[in-house]
Structure 1
Amino acid sequence: MNFIPDDHLDLIVTAALEWKVLVGPPAAALSMPGSLTSLDGTRAGTLIRQMNTIVQRLGSPAEYTYRPVPGPLIPVEVIKACHAAIHTCSRAPYWETSVAHTLLTKTAWAAAVRVPGYAEAPWIWTRSRTSQTLAIAETWRPEPLAVNWSKTHSIEPETWASAAAVLVTEEALPAVSGLLAAGQLAARPNVFAILPDPHLDPALWGGVADHVLIWPDCRPWLDVQLGAAWRP
């Protein structure tokens, strides 16, 4: 993009106004330190266009009149619009200290915090230490799989709940079902029953697992999954 069109500017300025990046009355600015003041929509868009015109050597900037964008704003579209404008204007003299730069970066930030899932994401991120695969078996174990097998009596509720996936052999299904029925384990997704016979009664695994794997047909798929994402 070389020339920033009016619609593009309208989206950015609408977001800046709606999300209080642009604060008109000085009193409002006191409650939001760092907000841009004394800019209406037309003036804000014109400042971006002026920088765009300088970089593209387009002569006098084309006149811009702000027109609000109706309807709910989509944060990721606003972010992309701001990034495109920043890229287009970034070679202008004194760009880093310009009002247009401040307007675009603050608007992109305001959009970022409104992206779905942002509020729920952790502020301090750490690698998960509870994403291992829990594999439960009694006497028969489908070897060789890249997992450490545990017997039913040794299952810790915390390990059961936090594992990325759970593998349960046919022999272990009744005991696991009993623990679930007694409330000693909580129902959870991504529990895979490994069965040697596809014709077994679904009642055997229906209350425990949400997926059924037939051994040994499932081994190639399991090897890939364990090697890629579930390996302890």
Structure 2
Amino acid sequence: MRVLLVEDDENLRFGVAAALRAAGLAVDEAADLPQADEALFVTSYDCAVLDRMLPSGDAAAYVEGLRRAGRQVPVLFLTARDTVADRVEGFSSGGDDYLVKPFAVPELVARVHSLCRRSAVVRPPVHHVGDLEVDTARRQVRRAGVLLTLTGREFAVLEVLATRADQAVARTELIERCWDEMAEPQSNVLEVVVSQLRRKLGEPPLIHTVRGVGYRLAPAGAP
């Protein structure tokens, strides 16, 4: 899942981005609304986290413009403005959630995960591929009923593959969905994570290499 974080306070942006990445999310950072606009133009995000008051303007008015243009990316506002009127204004402008500063980082991470699961296309929270169960709501993975321990990045890659079970998912798409703009597409970060996943998922193998394309999650023995 990929998140856009828009925050002009560099220290806060760094801390929040680090927490989201540690939770297995890919994070692109922007310091103002023009940078956010450029990022949203070229990239599809599962969620956007915006500081409400930025030097370049009120993010609520910006989001209202996004909604008028038909952009439906879920939005979480971060703000020091905590009156009822402020919160109502944030939701009225098209915001989906509202978190007042100072906030607990684990709560922010949980709210972002919740927003990322929202989609114009309703997806089942639990995906089954053979004897593999991927619970996207609880972020749990079981094989043959045994609970597996995955890192945030491993779960992110497996989640994308599970939502597209039996289909070949391009390497470039996996990197775009599971890593941020700091990742080098030509590096072997994806191959390392897939190797770790294969080891943890055990035998018989469920993740298959599609030569020249990427990877496919399919039941053992599938052609």
**TM-score normalized by the length of structure 2:** 0.35
More helix by share: 1
Q: TM-score, normalised by structure 1?
A: 0.34
Task: Identify which of structures 1 and 2 has the higher relative contact order when contacts are C-alpha pairs closer than 8 Å and 6+ apart.
Answer: 2
Bigger Cα Rg: 1
